[in-house]
Structure 1
Amino acid sequence: MKFTMKDQAFETETAYGKLTVSGNEDYGFRPFQLMVSSIAVCSGGVLRKVMEKQRMTVHDIEIEADVEREPSEANRLTKISIHYTIKGDNLSEARVEKAVHLASKNCPMARTVEGSVEIKETFTLV
Structure 2
Amino acid sequence: MSTHNTTTTWKGKMQFESTNPSGETLLINAGEENGGEGPGFRPKALMLSSLAGCSGLDVASLIGKMKLEVGDFKIETIANLTEEDPKVYDEVIIEYHFYGSNLNEERLNRAVDLSVEKYCGVLEMFRQFAKVEVKTMFHKI
What band does the TM-score fall into relative to the shorter chain?
0.7 to 0.9
Aligned amino acid, residue 83 of structure 1: E
- Please give the secondary structure, in 2, of the residue aligned with 1:42: helix
Which residue of structure 1 lines up, in the alignment, with residue 58 of structure 2? Answer: 46
Whose strand fraction is larger, Structure 1's or Structure 2's?
1
Q: Determine what percentage of the aligned residue pairs are the same residue.
A: 27
What's the CA shift for 1:47? Answer: 1.1
Matches within 5 A, 1:1-126: 1-5=6-10, 6-13=12-19, 15-16=23-24, 18-24=25-31, 26-27=36-37, 28-88=40-100, 90-104=102-116, 105-126=118-139
Aligned amino acid, residue 8 of structure 1: M
Q: Aligned pairs, how many?
A: 125
Deviation string 1:14-57 (CA, Å, 9 cap, x unpaired) is 644x4221332643211101100000121112112123222312
- Please give the secondary structure, in 2, of the residue aligned with 1:91: coil
Aligned amino acid, residue 112 of structure 2: V
Q: Distance in 2 between matches of 1:12 and 1:115?
A: 25
Runs of 5+ unmatched residues, structure 2: 1-5
TM-score by length of 2: 0.75
TM-score by length of 1: 0.82
Aligned amino acid, residue 121 of structure 1: V
